[in-house]
Amino acid sequence: MGDVDRIVRLDRSRLQRAGEVLARAFHDDPFYATLLPGEEDRPKRLAWFMERMLCYGLHYGHVYTTPAVEGVACWFPPGHTHPSAGDILRSGLFALPLRIGFGAYRRLTAFTTYTDPIRHRCVPEPHWYLLLLGVDHPYQGQGLGGRLIQPILKRADSEKVACYLETEKEGNLPFYARHGFNLAEAGQEPRYGVRMWGLLRPGTAQRGPA
């Protein structure tokens, strides 16, 4: 088994590397392209944003990667899928408006204001929330994304707990369908026009026997 096949928990010393990998993976994502429209400064701002999100994930969730950090998956567990004010302060996200810009912060707030009620409608019960899944460009299309999410999918199955995520790329739907996610709701954020798909992987009690 090569190192790229071995899935490990992200070490805090690799946070910067992981943030840069996710920034490259999501550079052309419709949501992040809308959030940070400037092509030149997007890589730096997006890498900082991703690093802070992963810092929050290390505090309160589960972050998986490979030994050389070719990809990253960040999950939040049942009961901790929405950050509190204290959580935000501890993870450094309090600086978000200054670091990504107030315009970007308004766009982020508008999008989360739109998507949060959708998640509440689609997943009323406790669930695992996949916040981020990204693979560096040279390693895409090799099954790494699927391997990165397997630890929590297996745990969710054993606990009979649902999993949920949002994606802003329609092309991602077949990948997630292969891992048991079904379309729960689709829509378009009205102010900035970003499309989204909410995907639900029911707990095994809801899916029935495999």
pLDDT bin (cut points 50, 70, 90) of residue 85 is: very low
At position 161, the amino acid (one-letter code) is: V
- Consecutive H or E run containing 134: strand 127-135
How far is 9 from 72, CA to CA, in rounded Å? 9
Q: What is the pLDDT of residue 109?
A: 86
Contact 45, 36 (CB under 8 A): yes
Question: Can you give the residue ranges of every domain in the chain?
Answer: 3-207
Contact 78, 126 (CB under 8 A): yes
Q: What is the pLDDT of residue 86?
A: 52
At residue 207, does pLDDT exceed 60? Answer: no
Note the pLDDT tens digit of each residue in 25-67.
999 999 999 999 988 989 999 999 999 889 889 988 999 999 9
Q: What is the pLDDT of residue 135?
A: 98
Q: How far is CA 94 from CA 6, 14, 33, 97, 105, in A?
A: 34, 22, 22, 8, 11
Give the chain's mean pLDDT: 89
- The CATH architecture assigned to 3-207 reads 3-Layer(aba) Sandwich (3.40)
Note the pLDDT tens digit of each residue in 88-144.
555 566 677 777 888 888 898 899 899 989 998 998 789 999 999 999 999 999 999
How far is 76 from 15, CA to CA, in rounded Å? 17
Q: What is the pLDDT of residue 44?
A: 93
pTM of the model: 0.89
* Cα-only R_g, the chain: 16
At residue 157, does pLDDT exceed 70? Answer: yes
How far is 74 from 55, CA to CA, in rounded Å? 10
